Amino acid sequence: MQSRTYEQLLKIRQSHGCGFLVLLDPDRSPVKDLARFAALCDKSGADAFLFGSSIMVANDFEKSLLAVKKAVKKPVIIFPGSSTMISSRADALLFLSMISGRNPNLLIGEHVKAAPAIKKLGIEVIPTAYMLIESGVITSVAYLSNTFPIPNHKSDIACAHALAGQYLGMKLVYLEAGSGAEKPVPVEMVKKVSSYVEIPVIVGGGIRQAEHASQVARAGASFVVIGNALEDSPRMVKEFAEAIHTK
Ligand code: 1GP
């Protein structure tokens, strides 16, 4: 099984200490605007892109992905909201298991539906232990997944889940407060989980300030994901890059 993009992510972490991932939501912006925004991030310090949406209602997934791929040089990784978000245009796909919840569809059901198409298209998959952390508001991901998030003051529970993900063979842990979260994943939890597992930890959801992103990176996160904050102020890309890159 190919792992070129995963290897690239590991190199990014090695050279920058912590990598800066930008979330591109194809459902939120017209294709041209999304491609223009991606190009700006590509030039201004983003290390890779996560491309996906909890739900697609407005735009065409494939068309947006193609436009983004043409506009950037850095890897574009599908961050799927369902088994229909698959494309050979991307560099890889996060094969997400929502291990914080007990919804069998998100632990194995969607995966079974997607697997034959992934094989046929020859897409690199990165098995990812996806963990939803309580965030103050009911985010799209919490509502649509029909799962309870992990309480944000229970780092021990988060650690046990992340380690179980590692033992199941996952290559990444994703601590997710949800896009637009009121309360991001606590820095203390990032610290504990990152030091408890051996696989890289991605942290995202509700990070709006560069200073806060820097704290998350310094707490041991391997990658920090920024979405909403950059959609609102695209000029902050450089500032976030400097804050997240710890070396
Ligand atoms: C969502 O973690 C990402 O999966 C990004 O969240 O849009 O709140 O930055 P924001």
Q: Ligand 1: which atom is nearest the Cα of residue 79?
A: 4
**Ligand 1 in reach of 99 Cβ (< 6 A):** no
In the reported structure, the alpha carbon of residue 96 is separated from the centroid of ligand 1 by a whole-number distance in angstroms of 15
Q: Using 50, 70 and 90 to split pLDDT, how confident is the model at 55?
A: low
Question: Domain containing 99 — which CATH number?
Answer: 3.20.20.390
Q: Ligand 1: which atom is nearest the Cα of residue 226?
A: 9
Pocket test for ligand 1, best of 34, 207, 224, 231 (most atoms within 8 A of CB): 207
Backbone angles phi, psi at 126, to 5 degrees: -120, 100
Q: The tokens of 178 are what?
A: 């949800």
How high is the pLDDT of residue 57?
66
* Nearest-10 crossing angle of helices 237-244, 210-218: 20
- Of all residues in the chain, the percent with pLDDT exceeding 70 is 98
In the reported structure, the alpha carbon of residue 120 is separated from the centroid of ligand 1 by a whole-number distance in angstroms of 30
3-state secondary structure labels for all residues of 153-181:
CCHHHHHHHHHHHHHCCCCEEEEECCCCC
Q: What is the pLDDT of residues 64-119, one digit of tens each?
A: 999 999 999 999 999 998 888 999 999 999 999 999 999 999 999 999 999 999 99
How high is the pLDDT of residue 56?
57
Residue nearest to atom 9 of ligand 1 (CA): 227
Q: Ligand 1: which atom is nearest the Cα of residue 229?
A: 9
State the Cα–Cα distance between residues 101 and 130, nearest whole angstrom.
9
Q: Which domain holds residue 45?
A: 4-244
Q: Domains in the chain: how many in total?
A: 1
Q: What is the pLDDT of residues 169-189, one digit of tens each?
A: 999 999 999 988 999 999 999
